[in-house]
Amino acid sequence: MAPPAQAPHALRLTRRQTLLTLSATLAGTGSLLTACARLPAQAQANPHAGIAREPAHLTLDNPGLYRLVNRLSWGASDAELNLAYQIGPGAYIAQQTADATPAALPPAAQSQIDGLTITQKPLITILGDLEDMRQADDKQPYQKELTRLAREAASRHVLRALYSPQQLREHMVWFWFNHFNVHQHKHNIRAMLGDYEDQALRPHALGRFRDILGAVAHHPAMLRYLDNDQNAANHINENYARELLELHTLSVDGGYTQRDVQELARVLTGHGVRHTDKIPKLRREWAGLYVHDGAYEFNPARHDFDDKALLGLTIKRRGAGELDEVLDKLATHPATARFVCGKIARFMLSDQPPDTLVKRMSATFISTQGHIGETLKTLLYAPEFTQAEPGKFKDPMHYVLSAVRAAYDDKVILNTQPVLNWLNRLGEGLYNRQTPDGYPQTEDAWSSSGQMTIRFDIARAIGNNHGGLFKTDDGSRAEQAGFPQLARASYYQFTRAMLRADTRQALDNTASPQDWNTLYLSAPEFMYR
């Protein structure tokens, strides 16, 4: 076993070096093939003693390290493998789970994001600008602008997922979006998506569950999507109340009743959306209870000012704070811990994660007051996390992103539209899930015959040429980008050994590199992580 210090930059390969290294590896001189990565000493200290204690010596062989990176991130790119290899799996996990400030992307990607309206303007300004368009006779510019803003959010989401050094955070941002799903084509939610991701989800993606739950419950996108902006005293709308219990926290068998739903709906009255800075005229005793933050509003005139009783709590009437009390209760409920941890384990590891592992995660979740990063550590340090079997079938999001990352590594794409189109074709378009349950994450939902055929089309688009990824929509910028070189050193070092004989044979019998790429990205092994 060679510690990583003796094999620095093992994978830092330029394209020119590729051929050279490749032949060296083939000639059997690649000592890296047997190298193991090891946890550096400084990563062993645990700031949360007694919680998710890291194993003192986490060592992984090459397939194990590949699986760690491939499962934790949006897919193993050379850059990501290289990083994990250099610092070792323990430090890699510690770095990825750290709840640090969201980091900048590589300049070529960050500059694309910096130019977006959703980066430059806060939501309330965007909504103000839209309000003028909305009142115009011709509604088309208004609709076009909404669509453009949603496209900006989608584009940013894809760039971050592909290139952020904080892969686990971006991975979890998608998870949380799907958990707290909203659908873009309702009302003006298209304008709110960027803010929803940036303010409600991303800052808390590795933080505390209570924080993300609260941020979502006070975000106009969710309040609008589940009709809570319409929920008022004597005009009760149960939609958000029900999904908050069923889908966001306790889960359907979490032990709540129809009565709890109705009571929670009353707690939720008055929490809504206001597009402008104009504040409604209120009776004097209500004026101090009014809240307006961004486009979120709590309007006491719409709130049900009677006591409520739900989930064993008696909620004293007092306005906006009633909801916080209920969310405190829900976020720490054992049914929530079980539900959320099971869902994370199914998302990251397997359709049927080991029950003992989910229990360990739930224990961490409860003892850390719902700390997501710590809960993830319990999962990522578990020996089960890097075992080969059973493996997790990629849903379309994982399939498409991992294919682009494998094919182009850290060469930043100029156009995210092909990626978004592929996701739509595969039925898992960003922000396109109409129902609040989010997209399913199990193999049987995504492995049908029709699905496989479309994946092969996409593999061909990526493998044969650049699939339109390296030219802008208006053609103003285009980069010379031929087809990718997937048969490179990382293939020989990490993945070839993990292929079945049928796959190897098909690859070996393929003369053209384009067809080789298409087959590699279509192989059964590439469908799993």
Partner 1 sequence: MQRRRFLSMASLAGAGMAVSPWSSRVLAATNDTTSPRFLLVFLRGGYDALSLLVPSTSSFYQEVRPHIALPLATGDKPGAMPLAEQWALHPAVEAPLRNLLQARQLSFIPFAGTDDTSRSHFETQDSIELGQALNGQRDFQSGFLNRLASVLPGQSAMSFTDQLPTIFRGPVDIANTSLKGKINKGLDKPMQSALAGMYAHHPLGAKVREGFDVRQEVSMEMADEMEAASRNAVSANGFDQEARRMAKLMRDRYALGFVDVGGWDTHVGQGQVDGYLATHLGQLASGLAGFADEMGPEAWRRTTVLVISEFGRTTRENGNKGTDHGHGSVYWALGGGLAGKTVAGEQTTIEAKTLFQNRDLPVLNEYRAVMAGLLRRQYGLSPSALDKVFSGVKPVDIGLI
Q: Report in angstroms how near the CB of residue 305 gets to partner 1 at its nearest.
A: 17
Q: Binding segment for partner 1 among 16-24, 329-337, 469-477, 514-522 (CB under 8 A)? A: 514-522
DSSP symbol at 291: E
Helix (H, G, I), strand (E, B) or coil at 95: helix
- 473 belongs to the binding site for partner 1 (CB under 8 A): no
* CA 211 distance to own-chain centroid: 17
- Residue 321: how many other CB atoms lie within 10 Å: 12
Contact 216, 222 (CB under 8 A): yes
Q: Which of 12, 235, 318, 477 binds partner 1 (CB under 8 A)?
A: 235
Beta strand extents in 31-154 (DSSP E only): 37-38, 59-60
The smaller minimum CB distance to partner 1, of residues 29 and 509, is found at 509
Q: Report in angstroms how near the CB of residue 444 gets to partner 1 at its nearest.
A: 6
Give backbone dihedrals phi and psi of 397, rounded to 5 degrees, phi first: -60, -50
The residues in 485-504 that bind partner 1, with binding defined as CB under 8 A, are 500, 502-503
Q: Which of 4, 416, 522, 529 binds partner 1 (CB under 8 A)?
A: 522
As a residue count, the chain comes to 529
Q: Which residues pair with 298 in a beta bridge?
A: 271, 291
The smaller minimum CB distance to partner 1, of residues 114 and 502, is found at 502
The smaller minimum CB distance to partner 1, of residues 242 and 411, is found at 242
Q: Report in angstroms how near the CB of residue 295 gets to partner 1 at its nearest.
A: 18
Q: Which of 28, 50, 288, 450 binds partner 1 (CB under 8 A)?
A: 450
Q: Which residues pair with 237 in a beta bridge?
A: none
Single out the residue of 525, 529, 518, 505 nearest to residue 407, CA to CA: 518
Q: Binding segment for partner 1 among 61-69, 72-80, 215-223, 234-242 (CB under 8 A)? A: 234-242
Q: Report in angstroms how near the CB of residue 402 gets to partner 1 at its nearest.
A: 17
The smaller minimum CB distance to partner 1, of residues 287 and 388, is found at 388
Q: Which residues contact 295 (CB under 8 A, 6 or more apart)?
A: 123, 124, 127, 192, 195, 220, 273, 274, 275
Q: Binding segment for partner 1 among 189-197, 226-234, 317-325, 486-494 (CB under 8 A)? A: 226-234
- 237 belongs to the binding site for partner 1 (CB under 8 A): yes
- 527 belongs to the binding site for partner 1 (CB under 8 A): yes
The smaller minimum CB distance to partner 1, of residues 73 and 231, is found at 231
The smaller minimum CB distance to partner 1, of residues 111 and 435, is found at 435
Single out the residue of 215, 194, 214, 269 nearest to residue 239, CA to CA: 269
Q: Report in angstroms how near the CB of residue 106 gets to partner 1 at its nearest.
A: 33
- Sign, CA torsion 413/418/420/425: negative
Q: Which of 46, 143, 239, 367 binds partner 1 (CB under 8 A)?
A: 239
Single out the residue of 235, 226, 232 nearest to residue 268, CA to CA: 232
The smaller minimum CB distance to partner 1, of residues 374 and 428, is found at 428
Q: Which residue has the tokens 């054992």?
A: 334
Q: Which of 135, 140, 258, 476 binds partner 1 (CB under 8 A)?
A: 258
Distance CA 225, CA 527 (A): 33
Distance CA 325, CA 211 (A): 13
- 451 belongs to the binding site for partner 1 (CB under 8 A): yes
- 306 belongs to the binding site for partner 1 (CB under 8 A): no
Q: Which of 238, 260, 263, 374 binds partner 1 (CB under 8 A)?
A: 238
Distance CA 244, CA 251 (A): 9
- 508 belongs to the binding site for partner 1 (CB under 8 A): no
Q: Which of 287, 452, 478, 497 binds partner 1 (CB under 8 A)?
A: 452
- 259 belongs to the binding site for partner 1 (CB under 8 A): no
The smaller minimum CB distance to partner 1, of residues 27 and 501, is found at 501
- Residue 29: how many other CB atoms lie within 10 Å: 11
Q: Which residues contact 146 (CB under 8 A, 6 or more apart)?
A: 130, 188, 190, 191
Count of residues that interact with partner 1, criterion CB under 8 A = 49
- 234 belongs to the binding site for partner 1 (CB under 8 A): yes
The smaller minimum CB distance to partner 1, of residues 251 and 375, is found at 251
Q: Binding segment for partner 1 among 59-67, 98-106, 379-387, 508-516 (CB under 8 A)? A: 508-516
Q: Which of 26, 104, 252, 388 binds partner 1 (CB under 8 A)?
A: 252
Q: Which of 140, 449, 476, 480 binds partner 1 (CB under 8 A)?
A: 449
**CA-to-CA separations, 174 to 4, 158, 196, 214, 521, in angstroms, rounded:** 32, 10, 12, 18, 23
> 438: number of CA atoms within 13 Å, CB side?
19
Distance CA 84, CA 386 (A): 14
Give backbone dihedrals phi and psi of 298, rounded to 5 degrees, phi first: -110, 115
Distance CA 391, CA 66 (A): 13
The residues in 389-448 that bind partner 1, with binding defined as CB under 8 A, are 426-427, 434-435, 437, 440, 444-448
Q: Report in angstroms how near the CB of residue 432 gets to partner 1 at its nearest.
A: 11
The smaller minimum CB distance to partner 1, of residues 141 and 524, is found at 524
- 336 belongs to the binding site for partner 1 (CB under 8 A): no
Q: Which residues contact 236 (CB under 8 A, 6 or more apart)?
A: 262, 265, 266, 269
Distance CA 115, CA 165 (A): 20
Q: Which residues bind to partner 1, rule: CB under 8 A?
A: 227, 230-232, 234-239, 242, 246-247, 252, 258, 426-427, 434-435, 437, 440, 444-454, 456-457, 460, 500, 502-503, 505-506, 509-510, 515, 518-519, 522-524, 527
